[in-house]
Amino acid sequence: MRTPTPKGSRSQYLASFLALSFLVLSVPPRTVSQEGSFTTFDVPGAAYAFPSSINEEGGITGYYADAGGYHGFVRDRYGTVTTFDAPGAVPAIGTNPSSINEEGVVVGTFFTNRVDGNFYFPSHGFIRRKEGTITTFDGPSGPPGTIANSINENGVIAGATGFNAFLLRKGGTFTVFNVPDAIRTVAVSINRIGAIAGSYYDASGAIHGFVRNASGTITKFDIPFNFGGVVSMNDLGTITGVVYDVENSVSHGFVRDPQGTISTFDAAQYATTFVQGINNEGAIVGYYYGVGNYHGFVRNRSGRITTFDVPGSLRGSTQALSINDEGDVAGVYEDFNFGSHCFVWRR
């Protein structure tokens, strides 16, 4: 599953027009559905938890908060939840898993204290094998540190180190790259064939998108409204993300097909849309905020949007955060006592 950035983005999240296709801000046909089975679960001892990534086997990773700070967790397909911390992590900022691949390998970011005691917490990457062994790593660039955003089925990792992007192959070989003329490049998502998608900043501070193919060729593209970012890319090269319309103070989803055509969409009328991921069927998952409420949505590759709330939830508290190739959706919701819980929706 390619879900590179956890909610709240403890990870990071153009000016030459590349012949962008016409932007079509639209509200496509919409249905409301509770079909399928919902399974809810909690991380032991957690005040709340966020499942940031679900793989094809149904394995889930994410982070949770307790009285001591932030920690990582994995939940296997049978429902067993295991919690963990990266070695040396400062609990107050903590361990933040971002992606789990088909083999159950988890990558993410953790933070440590600066040796001189200054108020700065260097970031580092980690890899957690399915059996629980954790390896930490740092890219070759310096501050602000290393952030691991995504891992593909071949175990190749993408992220950011310093102000550059990186990919890390099995065996520890780093490739560091920057989009030409960028002052900062962040690799957000890597797919099965090794293509990488992400965002970069130009000298004016505007945010753009890019895709780097497996051979290293980089293609830039402009993000609508020049503000937002890439969230995820699937194996076919379809990219999705979020854009922010500053003038109207609302965010929209966007999708860029493999040919470069970009369109924007809203999950519902008069709503703010937050995209969280895309699977290989072209289904986009996320949540939207409208009239004071949060609801989950799934948008299929034809553009039809299905909205939903977890049964028994406090209405307007459902946030869909990740989707796998089977169409299973993981997310969070609140009950009527305002307690936070995780869910899996198998459609």
pLDDT at 225 over 90: no
Cα 70 to Cα 252: distance, rounded to the nearest angstrom:
29
Residue 19: C-alpha distances to residues 54, 181, 197, 233, 245 (Å)? 35, 19, 19, 21, 20
Whole-model pTM above 0.85? Answer: yes
Contacts of 79-88 with C-beta under 8 Å, sequence gap 24+, read 79/39, 79/41, 81/41, 81/43, 81/44, 82/132, 83/43, 83/44, 83/45, 84/128, 84/132, 84/134, 85/110, 86/110, 86/124, 86/126, 86/134, 86/136, 87/134, 87/136, 88/112, 88/124, 88/136
Q: Which CATH superfamily is domain 30-346 in?
A: YVTN repeat-like/Quinoprotein amine dehydrogenase (2.130.10.10)
Share of the chain above pLDDT 90, in %: 76
> According to the model, what pLDDT value does residue 115 have?
64
Residue appearing with tokens 């879900």: 3
The answer on pLDDT for 14 being more than 50 is no
What residues pair up with 318 in beta bridges, in sequence order? none
Could you tell me the sign of the dihedral formed by the alpha carbons of 218, 4, 285, 250, in that order?
negative
Q: Give me the residue spans of the domains in the chain.
A: 30-346
pLDDT band at 246 (very low <50, low <70, confident <90, very high): confident
Note whether 286 and 278 are within 8 A (CB).
Answer: no
The rounded mean pLDDT for the chain is: 89
